Structure formats: structure tokens, C-alpha cells
């Protein structure tokens, strides 16, 4: 892992493949959500969600029994939390909405949730945010299209749907992290969803090293100094251990 030498500022872009070992299916893999049911993508399109009560009802039912509610962090999540604790300046830029990085022990302020979180619900009218449990309890009780109790507007999970713009401040923050990190690890992401995938190019254009850990080829493989096809639950702990060992050996780290 010569590409890891001297890397004390590390950005880690994580995608759905990082959470599959926790029992959460990815989206585009052989058993992915969209692969098994392409029509379900309609429920995750912002325009359709807002326009059609039936789409909203299907969306809420999908999340009511989602595997992520019971999921526990896997070795990849824990390895990143341990890397932070070792003293390496690591920031996690995640496309995932499951909160497993924080549950594993990564500092919430060092995890940037690029696509939002499933643990909160936001009102599309007044913007009020509430814990998801409250709305899901209403769905479980038979409310297929829950509305805001304050203003009556449509409620949605605080996740970014297809066709919905990412928060400009969040993506700008992510770009700054990618540009200033000596090493960018892209883990478990198809790197097909923009603008998040382009964070890889931001890192490389700033002169930093890009390493991709993913089962399948990605559009950014040619920019990487290393592409690793090993299972994430094996590869990422090994990478994190190598980076942490540099701290143990006395290599300087950034705050």
C-alpha cells in the first residue's frame, strides 16, 4: 500500500456497498433494490413523490419495514471509527442515509451525510424536522399519506430523492474536504450519481491520491492510483490498519 504512505488527511466517500454486510441491500447490484424492482425507483423520484399520494404511500411502506432500522455497523464502519480514534484526520462523506457510521463510533461532526438521513422527517411546507419514529408509527397505524401536524403539508424522509438538488452548502463542504485530503478512498459506491461522484475528480485535480474499493467497475477507475475488488469488509479494515500504523510509528498527523 505505497499509496497510503504519509497520508494523514483522509477523506472516505462511502456508498451503499459499505452497508450491505449489515444486511442493507444496495441499489444497483445483482440483488439491489432497483435491480429487483425497477418500478420502485418512481417512489424515490421527488416530482412523483410530491405529485402522487399512491407513490407516497408506497414510499412510506417501503421504509416502514426497511432493514436499516434494525441494522448494526459492520467491520467497515467500525474500521473507520477506529481510524479516527487512532489520530488520523479522517472525514467520512457518505451517500448512505442509515446512520451506521455514527452508530459505529465516528464523530457526527466528522460525518457528512450527502444524501440526508432516514432518521428524520422533514415537512415540505414549514420545514419542521421530527424523528422518523413519530411518522412511521402513524404509517403503521394506517395513515398512508401522513401530513405535517403543524401546517398540513406533505411529509418526507429527510433524504435526497432523485431529481432533488443536494444542499449547496453540504456539497461545497464536501468539495473542500476532498480537495484538502491527501488520500481519497471511494468505498462501495457505483460512482454513477452526480454531483457526489465528481468528488473523486475534485480530489485528483487537487493533486491527491484516489483509491477505489468496489466490487464493480466505476466511471472513475481510470483516475485511481489503485482499484481494489476485494470485499469491503476485508479490504477497508486492512487499509485503515495500515493508515493507523503510520500514527503508531510516529508519523505526524494533522488536527
200 is in an annotated binding site: no
> In 10 A of CB 169, how many CB atoms?
8
Give all strands (DSSP E) within the chain, no chain letters: 9-14, 89-94, 111-113, 116-123, 129-131, 155-159, 183-187, 209-213, 226-228
Phi, psi of 238 (to 5 degrees): -65, -40
- The set of cell numbers assigned to 12 is 472516505
* Among 215, 187, 236, CA closest to 30: 215
Question: Helices 75-86 and 232-248: crossing angle, nearest 10°?
Answer: 10
Where b means 16+ CB within 10 Å and e means fewer, 10-27 reads: bbbbbbbbbbbbbebbbb
> In 10 A of CB 114, how many CB atoms?
23
Active site residue 66: no
Of 77, 101, 115, 119, catalytic: 115
> CA–CA separation, 60 vs 10, rounded Å?
36
Beta bridge partners of 185: 12, 211
Binding residues for Zn(2+) are 123, 126, 148, 151
> Which residues carry out catalysis?
115
Binding residues are 123, 126, 148, 151
Amino acid at each position: 500500500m505505497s499509496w497510503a504512505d504519509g497520508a494523514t488527511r483522509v477523506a472516505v466517500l462511502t456508498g451503499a456497498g459499505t452497508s450491505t454486510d449489515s444486511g442493507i441491500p444496495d441499489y444497483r447490484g445483482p440483488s439491489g433494490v432497483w435491480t429487483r424492482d425497477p418500478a420502485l425507483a418512481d417512489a424515490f423520484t421527488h416530482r412523483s413523490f410530491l405529485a402522487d399520494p399512491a407513490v407516497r404511500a408506497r414510499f412510506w411502506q417501503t421504509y416502514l419495514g426497511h432493514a436499516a432500522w434494525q441494522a448494526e455497523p459492520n467491520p467497515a464502519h467500525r474500521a473507520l471509527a477506529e481510524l479516527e480514534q487512532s489520530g488520523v484526520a479522517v472525514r467520512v462523506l457518505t451517500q448512505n442515509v442509515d446512520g451506521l457510521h455514527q452508530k459505529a463510533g465516528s464523530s457526527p461532526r466528522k460525518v457528512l451525510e450527502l444524501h440526508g438521513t432516514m432518521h428524520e422527517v422533514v415537512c415540505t411546507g414549514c420545514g419542521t424536522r421530527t424523528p422518523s419514529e413519530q411518522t412511521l408509527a402513524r404509517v403503521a397505524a394506517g395513515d398512508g399519506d401522513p401530513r405535517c401536524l403543524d401546517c398540513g403539508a406533505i411529509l418526507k424522509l429527510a433524504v435526497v430523492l432523485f431529481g432533488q438538488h443536494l444542499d449547496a452548502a453540504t456539497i461545497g463542504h464536501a468539495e473542500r474536504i476532498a480537495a484538502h485530503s491527501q488520500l481519497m478512498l471511494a468505498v462501495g459506491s457505483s460512482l454513477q450519481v452526480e454531483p457526489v461522484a465528481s468528488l473523486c475528480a475534485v480530489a485528483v485535480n487537487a493533486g491527491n491520491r484516489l483509491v477505489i474499493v468496489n466490487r464493480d467497475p466505476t466511471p472513475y477507475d481510470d483516475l485511481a492510483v489503485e482499484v481494489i475488488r476485494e470485499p469491503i469488509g476485508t479490504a477497508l479494515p486492512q487499509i485503515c490498519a495500515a493508515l493507523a500504523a503510520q500514527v503508531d510509528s510516529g508519523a505526524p498527523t494533522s488536527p
